[in-house]
Amino acid sequence: MRAFWLLLFCVISALFCPVASAEFTAIDTPSDGGGSVTLCWSAYDFVGSSAADTLTIYRRNVGSIAWKLIAVAALSDESHLDDSVADGKPYEYMIVARGGDSSSNLYAGPVSASAQWYNAHRTTVLIGTLVCVLTLVAVTLLSRRNKPFYIRPIKGLEAVDEAVGRATEMGKPVLFTPGWGGDIQRPTTIAALNILRYVAAKTAEYRCDLYFPTHDPVIMAAAEEVVRESYIEQGQADMYNADNVFYTSSSQLGYAAAVDGVVSRYKPAAIFLLGTFEGEALILAETGNSVGAMQVAGTDSTIQLSFFMVACDFTLIGEELFAASGYLTKDAKILSSVKVQDFLKIAIVALLFAGAIMVTFGSNTLAEWIGRT
């Protein structure tokens, strides 16, 4: 019975009482891409050299005689990362502490570095990715079951039909340009071309001319294909004019001057400024405003949005531009992705509130867990 109580005391002591480290260790650094070894020690390892405040760390290849000095560390550091090793090669380490007339040497190894297949510090990112994927799958399945999704009305997109109809009634053309700051790889350019497909279909249906000036030959080629297909789908292939989709200049001011020239000569009744805009934003918007055009603008640049807001009739702010194609075409796949973003935003806001409340009451658990990226 006495032995039982002694064993129980030892187990409880091992679980709840801190135990001083009694050795110098060298391990392959966990959750890394290889090329490093982590050395660990404790001040208790150098009881005989308590007067020492610095440690010298040496390394050698297994089988070698000579030691190489690799670092000098403080006694209180208790760890050192050796990131100058090669993967797959075994190494031995020696740490030396000198205090007064005495010195203490400890050895560790052999140990070799290797790349880890999983980085535990990125677990938060993995969980976030899985949540995003599962949410997307769930919303997509619901959309296939014809579950309706509420999409907030966007005034700028509701005005597209009105703008094209106004141009038709006035007998004037429509102008659409994606700005100077983007190329075919930018999400804003792709979003603009998706909206162009809808606008081109409307101009074909109403038999209204559409002009598309751009600064990039690749965008011009893509736009030609989009407009041509839209006219064919509406049964108005004979109305398509390839000259109405044209390249201006790769120069910012040259592009702005060319578009302003088109606006001044043809005086379009509707202008769509959707894409990536920089310093030319206000120049184009003011010129369109001077000819009395109804203007719908949108970009992801927060700086240029302010100019569009004061000079255009309707402005798509930020993500409204990316949601526009789904909003106009009612495409279930695009609407599903928009809805997924809304759900994830709600989840992020909830985590922020929960983290703020926990920090207020002195707990950093959630903040530290999310911050492990």
Q: CATH no. for residue 71?
A: 2.60.40.10
Do 219 and 191 fall into the same domain?
yes
Tell me, yes or no, whether 289 and 355 share the same domain. no
What confidence tier does 359 reach under pLDDT thresholds 50, 70, 90? confident
Residue 51 has pLDDT above 90, yes or no: no
Tell me, yes or no, whether 326 and 338 share the same domain.
no
Mean pLDDT of 316-341: 79
Distance set, CA 210 to CA 164, 246, 310 (Å): 10, 11, 25
Cβ contacts of 271 within 8 Å, gap of 6 or more: 174, 175, 176, 177, 263, 284, 288, 293, 294, 295, 296
What pLDDT is stored for residue 129 in this prediction? 86
Residue 3 lies in a domain: no
* Same domain for 174 and 101: no
Residues 198 and 231 placed together within one structural domain of the fold: yes
Lowest mean pLDDT among 52-56, 66-70, 306-310: 52-56
Q: Are residues 90 and 130 in the same domain?
A: no
Q: Same domain for 324 and 178?
A: yes
Residue 319: inside a domain: yes
Asked if the structure places residue 4 within a domain, the reply is: no
Name the token pair of 134. Answer: 């599962």
The pLDDT assigned to 6 comes to 41
In a domain, 248, yes or no: yes
286 token code pair: 């003011």
pLDDT at 116: 81
Residues 335, 86 contacting (CB under 8 angstroms): no
CATH number for the domain harbouring residue 293: 3.40.50
Q: Tell me, yes or no, whether 310 lies in a domain.
A: yes
pLDDT at 347: 86
User: Are 302 and 170 members of one domain?
Assistant: yes
Asked if the structure places residue 11 within a domain, the reply is no
Residue 351 sits in which domain range? 120-148+334-370
pLDDT for residue 44: 62
- Predicted TM-score (pTM) above 0.85: no
d(CA 331, CA 369): 37
Same domain, 72 and 191: no
Say if 9 falls within a structural domain: no
Pairing label, strands 245-247, 270-274: unpaired
Whether 134 and 275 map to the same domain: the answer is: no
Residues 164 and 247 in one domain: yes
Per-residue confidence (pLDDT) for residue 46, from 0 to 100: 60
pLDDT at 146: 72
Structural domain count, the chain: 3
36 inside domain: yes
307 and 264 share one domain: yes
Look at residue 227 and tell me whether its pLDDT is greater than 80: yes
